[in-house]
Amino acid sequence: MVNLYEVLGLPNFASAAEIKSAFKRLAFQYHPDRNPNNPQAEEKFKAINHAYQYLSNPEKKAHYDYLLRLGYDPSRQPVRRYAPVRNPMQRRRAYVRKMSPEERAEHERYVKAAPWVAFGIVGYMFFIVYSLFAFIGRINYHWAYEAYQQGKYLEAEYYLNQGLGTDHNYFRALFLRGKIYIDHFGFYEEGRRLVQAAIDNAEIEFPEFYYYRGLANSYLGNPDSARMNFMYAFAKMPPQKALYMRAATLLLFKNQSLENAKIIFNTMIQKGMADEAVYSNLAIIAHLQEDYVSEVKAYSNAILCNPRNAEWYYKRAQAYINLAQIAESCYDWNIAKKLNKTIQDETLDYFCESYSAKTNN
């Protein structure tokens, strides 16, 4: 991994103005239009654009600067340190007194027992140290969770970093860090890795962990994996409408994965969580698939949920036009105009006026 500041030719912690100025200069220099058939210039332009997009975001820049201040250096190579070889000191051979048979037997008993005694002492000390580190990790997690609840995500990240330094397998801290990365920092790949580590270290299954793995997969462009994660989580947690809606709309609008989004919206209907928003999104999917019969059905259900919403009548009127059902379209269009005086559509006015004149004649 390279240092984003170095990509832009800037020192660490450069200001937003310096970042913007460097980006303009380098983007002009390496733009593909100015360097046709030059793969190296194209790769350089992509790296410059990525660095600028990341560092121009104040929140991401603050987190990146925070990591640099902690000593993180993306361009640093690991340094191997070798212990010096020392020659053992030669000692004079000590005089060993011959033991009697009774002393030898006693000595052998001590020799046999010594490894077990040593093992017990080491195990006890390990238990004490592990318990201390685990306690420190949980204290830091408690402080991190309080900061998270207050919206202080950088402060929460600081405490999580301290806690995972002493107990790097504590699954709650791993999940909270992954959740912050996914929801607030936009580090989706790292967030997915942390959530996966939380799943691997937890003694029991937590459906929320799989839900957030699904969010990360969706943001990373893996809609099929995301949908499987979502459905697995939903099967094990109480129905929460907001979680279903976030998952489905991400699949629909972020990934343009119509079938995966439709599966979640239909699951919401089966679980009794349907409302006009669910049906309107199903109507959008049907329209994109040119399934106008399903679009009419979805908008009809949305109207049943909210009969005073002019938009649903207007959208259903447009769907009827695509089905060449002019009478039904004009009926809905007239209702929409009564409910919303400001709504306008010259195409529907033209069809309805022509249809009215034809029927009157």
Residues 4-22: pLDDT tens digits? 888 888 998 889 999 989 9
Residue 107 has pLDDT above 60, yes or no: yes
Where does the pLDDT of residue 97 fall: very low under 50, low under 70, confident under 90, or very high at 90 and above? Answer: low
Comparing 49 with 107, the larger pLDDT belongs to: 49
Where is average pLDDT lowest: 122-131, 154-163, 315-324, 326-335?
122-131
Per residue in 243-270, pLDDT tens? 999 999 999 999 999 999 999 999 999 9
pLDDT-above-90 percentage for the chain: 60
Whole-angstrom distance, CA of residue 313 vs CA of residue 299: 8
Comparing 265 with 94, the larger pLDDT belongs to: 265
pLDDT at 134: 81
Whole-angstrom distance, CA of residue 15 vs CA of residue 72: 19
Residue 58 has pLDDT above 70, yes or no: yes
Per residue in 73-86, pLDDT tens? 665 554 454 445 55
Q: What is the mean pLDDT of the chain?
A: 88
Which two three-digit tokens encode residue 58?
């104040």
Per residue in 308-324, pLDDT tens? 999 999 999 999 999 99
pLDDT at 109: 79
Residue 329 has pLDDT above 60, yes or no: yes
Q: What's the chain look like in SS3?
A: CCCHHHHCCCCCCCCHHHHHHHHHHHHHHHCCCCCCCCHHHHHHHHHHHHHHHHHCCHHHHHHHHHHHHCCCCCCCCCCCCCCCCCCCCCCCCCCCCCCCHHHHHHHHHHHHHHHHHHHHHHHHHHHHHHHHHHHHHHHHHHHHHHHHHCCCHHHHHHHHHHHHHHCCCCHHHHHHHHHHHHHHHCCHHHHHHHHHHHHHHCCCCCHHHHHHHHHHHHHCCCHHHHHHHHHHHHHHCCCCHHHHHHHHHHHHHHCCCHHHHHHHHHHHHHCCCCCHHHHHHHHHHHHHCCCHHHHHHHHHHHHHHCCCCHHHHHHHHHHHHHCCCHHHHHHHHHHHHHHCCCCCCHHHHHHHHHHHHHHHC
Comparing 332 with 360, the larger pLDDT belongs to: 332
Sign of the Cα pseudo-torsion (265, 266, 268, 269, in order): positive
Structural domains of the chain in order of their starting residue, each with its CATH number? 4-69 (1.10.287.110), 128-200 (1.25.40), 275-361 (1.25.40.10)
pLDDT at 247: 97
pLDDT at 124: 56
Where does the pLDDT of residue 91 fall: very low under 50, low under 70, confident under 90, or very high at 90 and above? Answer: low
pLDDT at 127: 52
pLDDT at 89: 54
Per residue in 149-185, pLDDT tens? 999 999 999 999 999 988 989 999 999 999 999 999 9
